[in-house]
Structure 1
């Protein structure tokens, strides 16, 4: 467990998140969803922050009935941000990726 100093700051800004999603049903019980999103701090008002955020996923879902389904897929998320301040630059570069699985409830 990390025992060092934590930087706990909040910054509000306005910037568009560009995204696309493709969903199709090859048969009555199957659903396939592909999705991607991207945000760049240059597109908005983020003051001292510079960088981007990217996310993509693919899900295959089987609907047992009209209200319940099970799904599995893959998710990828990347964050690459620098903050410039009077005491230098703080950078954060993280990437998360891996399989996902779960249940879906529809009403």
Structure 2
């Protein structure tokens, strides 16, 4: 699995920052919470089968003109348990819907939506991650933490026609898997904090076979000891095959985009 350039550049960015070593601890916070506006771009491909009737793969952004960006709330937090021990968590969700007259017939979950029908499409997705982190490197200007934890993802799709006869289908799936990762934090001096993370895992649990990769970078300026302004960029990829009563099909999802927010630290 290949990571994007932003993910591969995390280590380079952080290690470069360590050339400006200052007499400050890399992470003195006992608790930190960042609330950001996340402005993502997404690419969603879905399919749903009904018995032996195989559904087509839909590009949601293309079929329902859902490529328009909306800003969503994103939460990131950290709790220090000890000198080298942290709990790290984050959460965000996407909610997109739109109605359009389709120019091709759609077959999804055993239902057919004829051409020239007014159809509404909705896609909701949420992702939460909680990880334990142990600092394998801890210096006054650099912290490298190895992470083990879990992520929980939820996806819901609805396609509904507004013509006669009315066709209305719902598919949904949720589940979790372990997550392994690495997080870096550098304090090059003054009020700046720079860092990033990478997480990945492949799990075949019950009736879900999923593979995910996640990466991000950020730069934060501490206005005061307890308040910071942060800019970042996040990337997430999920490939999942579902064999559930509520969804027998596949989801391929890529979410990426910038974020800007404030950090409260104590």
TM-score (norm: length of structure 2): 0.35
Work out whether 1:92 is the aligned partner of 2:257: no
Give the CA deviation at 1:73. Answer: 1.5
Equivalent in the alignment of 1:25: 187
- The within-5 A match list for 1:1-107 is 1=98, 2=121, 3=160, 4-11=168-175, 15-42=177-204, 46-84=205-243, 89-107=248-266
In structure 1, the gaps of 5 or more residues are none
Question: CA–CA distance in 1 between the matches of 2:183 and 2:189?
Answer: 19
* 1:69-88 superposed Cα distances (whole Å, 9 cap, x missing partner): 101121101111001358x9
TM-score (norm: length of structure 1): 0.82
Question: CA–CA distance in 2 between the matches of 1:97 and 1:55?
Answer: 10
Number of equivalenced pairs: 101
Give the CA deviation at 1:39. Answer: 2.1
Counterpart secondary structure, 1:41: strand
Question: CA–CA distance in 2 between the matches of 1:18 and 1:55?
Answer: 10
* Bigger Cα displacement from structure 2, 65-74 vs 15-24: 15-24
Structure label with greater radius of gyration: 2
C-alpha spacing 1:67/1:85, structure 2 compared with 1 (3 Å): closer
Give the CA deviation at 1:8. Answer: 3.0
Question: CA–CA distance in 1 between the matches of 2:173 and 2:253?
Answer: 18
Give the CA deviation at 1:28. Answer: 2.8
Give the CA deviation at 1:9. Answer: 4.1
